[in-house]
Amino acid sequence: MPPHQADGGRRAWAFLFGASIVEGLMWGLPLSFGVFQAYYETHDPFKGEKHLQLVGTLTTGVSYLGTPFVAFLLLKFQKYRRHMIFAGWLICISALVASSFATQFWHLAVSQGILYGFGFLFIEYPVLDMLNEWFVKRRGMAYGMLSGSGGVFGLALPFIIQTLLDRYGHAVTLRVCAIAMFVIVGSILPLIQGCLRPKILDAADRKFDTTVFWNTTFMAITFSNIFQGLGFFLPSSYLPSYATDIGLSTTQGAFILSFLNFTQIIGQMGIGHLSDHYNARIPMLASTFLSAVVVFLGWGFSKTFETLVAFSAFFGLVAGGYSVLYCRFATALTEDSTTALLLYSIFEFQRGVSSILGSLSSGFAVSDRVNVGRYGVEKYEVIILLVGSGMLFSCCGCFSWVISFFRGKRHTFSLLEDDFPVVEEKEELCAA
């Protein structure tokens, strides 16, 4: 078959379309967990359980925490990438079916939380590895589109799930989701193929450049990443419940979550585009600082449907695209592709750890009292302060060049180029 050029062509766009459908549906469900949580909290057999938010956090947390392990498997067994995607797809379907029979909290935590996150992990990383082959110069844009696809599905899924929950309950809803995933994703999987022939790496190729871990830039990015992940997922978990506590309907709560997912699409694509043309610290600084401002002022003082919609819009725009920058962080730190893959997995792992810590902390931070006249209606005051403070600390990591200056490293800061080594990637001809 004839070779295919990276960054364009029918097959490259077909891959991105198929990958976006798979990513969007598989990730759209965890993004819509707030609707499930609001239902579980008010219906048997999970009514009154205080740590239900941990189920959604386990889904995202496991998918992040397992990235170093999957990255190792991917480097060693690259020719089995499609097999990994197929296995992850079946695991996710099994997780939804198993959770439909749950009668206790730990049943949900294991099935809808851990098992689903584990299955999604085996889908996402091979897809990202293939995307790196199809897109080089336009990689930030491609990452933004892929990440934004979850928001596209997250725009409609909260309404669909809410309708199913109201009519049929959680058991039937979860089984319907499993059937939809089997049919839709199964029909798209043939499009998910790599651009290059799988490589078998020898021992020398699998060596990592460990010097990057002592780079002040890596330390600053790590600091920023951990604090950003500490609070990023909490609004999507608590906004539907917050809406209910201020007197809004479940449909309005679903709309608020849906709108948050929608604006994350724009944020992810926008930040991805910016990272292709500007120093990654610029969107990094804007994302974290503006997120803190929006949380402190937008969420804490929201008492009406309109103000909550405005908060979800601004938070999705400024906070949603942060993780799109991981690929640019990695290429700014190393020229070695194997080390870059490891760095990406480490950033994801850090995000997973911090998201679980944030969720565990939030479970103890929620108050039993609701006072609409107080900041955060009192019940969510500490959570809002936790999210806003995490974002504020995260933006401190953007000042890595200041740290480098005081350590005697004279880096010239540029708005247009990263002032650390950038991978000089060649456009490659992709053989089928």
Return the DSSP state at 430: E
Q: Is the pLDDT of residue 98 over 90?
A: yes
Cross-strand bridge partners of residue 430: 4
Check whether 101 has a pLDDT greater than 50: yes
Sequential DSSP letters for 404-428: HHHTT--PPP-SSS-SS----PPP-
pLDDT > 90 in the chain, percent: 29
Question: What are 114's two structure tokens?
Answer: 């851990």
Q: What percent of the chain has pLDDT over 70?
A: 86
Q: What is the mean pLDDT of residues 71-83?
A: 83
DSSP character at residue 298: I
Residue 124: pLDDT band (50, 70, 90) is confident
- Which pTM does this prediction carry? 0.73
Q: Among positive and negative, which fits the CA dihedral 339, 340, 344, 350?
A: positive
Mean pLDDT across 215-238: 88
Tens digit of each residue's pLDDT (9 = 90 or more) over 191-201: 888 776 555 55
Instruction: Note the pLDDT tens digit of each residue in 31-55.
Output: 788 889 889 988 888 887 877 878 8
Is the predicted pLDDT of residue 206 greater than 70, yes or no? no
pLDDT for the residue numbered 47: 84
Confidence grade of residue 205 (pLDDT, cut at 50, 70, 90): low
Q: What is the pLDDT of residues 129-187, one digit of tens each?
A: 888 788 777 776 777 778 777 767 877 888 899 899 999 999 999 999 999 999 999 99
Q: Is the pLDDT of residue 415 over 80?
A: no
DSSP string, 211-234: GGGG-HHHHHHHHHHHHHHHHHTH
SS3 300: coil
Which of 344, 274, 428 shows the shortest CA–CA distance to 128? 344
The tokens describing 308, both together, are 């909550």
H helices of 3-138, where? 10-31, 33-42, 53-65, 67-76, 81-99, 105-108, 116-134
Q: Is the dihedral of CA 175, 177, 183, 189 positive or negative?
A: negative
Mean pLDDT of the chain: 82
User: Residues 295-347: pLDDT tens digits?
Assistant: 999 998 999 999 999 999 999 999 988 988 887 888 778 877 778 778 888 99
Tokens of 90: 């079946």
Mean pLDDT of 102-122: 92
Task: Give CA–CA dist 345/80, Å, rounded.
Answer: 19
Q: Hunting for tokens 């319907």 — which residue is that?
A: 176
Q: ω into residue 45 within 30 of 0, thus cis? A: yes
Is the CB of residue 335 less than 8 Å from the CB of residue 284?
A: no
Higher pLDDT, 379 or 338: 379
At a CB cut-off of 8 Å and minimum separation 6, what does 214 contact? none
Rounded Cα gap, residues 141 and 59, in angstroms: 26
Q: How far is CA 403 from CA 34, 222, 396, in A?
A: 39, 14, 11
